[in-house]
Structure 1
Amino acid sequence: MARSIDYGNLMHRAMRGLIQSVLTDVSEHGLPGAHHFFITFDTNHPDVAIADWLRQRYPTEMTVVIQHWFENLVVTDEGFTVTLNFGNQPEPLVIPFDSVRTFVDPSVEFGLRFETHEDDEEAEDDEGDLEEDDGDDEPPRHDAQVVSLDKFRK
């Protein structure tokens, strides 16, 4: 049996480590300058913890913005927790790194997209673009440099 290097999984781990480092710095020092983040995650991931009303409103994925008002940002090796304000209602969220689908910092036009194998066919149709949802409370997405990693997996 031939041994091979799994570059796709190695890249996923490295990029999630980048997100962990950025969020750890923000938790310790706050957001520098105009930096802010749009983070889209899979609400069906077994380790995601969000309020029931949020899960009903966002049954498959949700995009949150870390910008003006957030608190209790705690970063671990597995993910992060943060309290965000939804219509003057603070809600704690637990978001594992494995549930993150996109991480975008539009202030510097930087973005990462983590695809699943189910997304492979869709990604070929819109590679390099972030899809916009029609959700009323979703923040607008900006063009960003997106790195697609799953196409390197076997």
Structure 2
Amino acid sequence: MTEDNKPVESLLPYDRWTEEAMREVALKALEHAGANGLPGEHHFYLTFRTDHSGVAMPAHLKARYPEEMTIVLQHQFWDLKVEREKGFLTAGLSFGGVPATLTIPINALTAFWDPHVRVGLRFPSAEAPAKAPGEETAAEPGPAPMAEQGDEADPKPEAEEGPAQVVSLDAFRRRPSRD
């Protein structure tokens, strides 16, 4: 008796459809926050490819985060807009007390996370940058540095000549109160 438990190849693009639906959820949340502000304790972590075509950000941030960056939309952000027709979103943030506007193509988003309600979405198609033919691709993208935006956003510096540090989102999750 042989085991023929090979996965069946789908002729329908379910992966793409699923990712498009998840992106729609993230975009609706961002549009709501842009129009109405963030309700209650909601706040968003957005991770995006900084090396994606069309990303506009200050040069010092691009130098610090050449591949991927995570921002937090919580207390001090402004002009959050989703431009679906143009395929990007913009947000004003403060980094080390210096205001900046980021322009992020929607297709550059790799993750969306609302820790208040533990809703997290990953967008695999944006996780690895498109490589030109003949260029080597890494087996897996490495861990990404994280920039937080709170009272005053200040991107966390990477360790010099050392491994990248991974920040666990578990530290930001609400713990159930025990009364």
TM-score (norm 1): 0.76
Instruction: Show the counterpart of 1:137.
Output: 155
Matches within 5 A, 1:50-129: 50-77=57-84, 78-116=87-125, 122=140
Aligned residues: 135
User: Are 1:19 and 2:26 matched, yes or no?
Assistant: yes
Once the two structures are TM-superposed, the CA of residue 79 in structure 1 deviates from its matched residue by: 2.4
Distance 1:55 1:121 in 2: 23
User: What 5-or-longer segments of structure 2 have no aligned partner?
Assistant: 1-9, 129-136, 148-153, 157-165, 173-179
Contact 2:82/2:88 (CA < 8 Å) preserved in 1?
A: yes
Encode CA deviations 1:106-126: one digit per residue, 9 max, x unaligned: 111110112248599649xxx
Once the two structures are TM-superposed, the CA of residue 12 in structure 1 deviates from its matched residue by: 1.4
Tell me how large the CA RMSD over aligned residues is. Answer: 2.8
Contact 1:40/1:63 (CA < 8 Å) preserved in 2?
A: yes
> Could you tell me the percent identity over the aligned residues?
37
Range moving further from structure 2, 106-115 or 59-68: 106-115
Q: 1:9 aligns with which of 6, 16, 19?
A: 16
Secondary structure, aligned partner of 1:108 = coil
Contact 2:68/2:144 (CA < 8 Å) preserved in 1?
A: no
TM-score (norm 2): 0.66
Give the structure with higher Rg (CA): 2
User: Are 1:36 and 2:63 matched, yes or no?
Assistant: no
Question: Which structure is richer in relative contact order (CA contacts within 8 A, separation 6 or more)?
Answer: 1
The structure with more helix, counted as a fraction of residues: 1
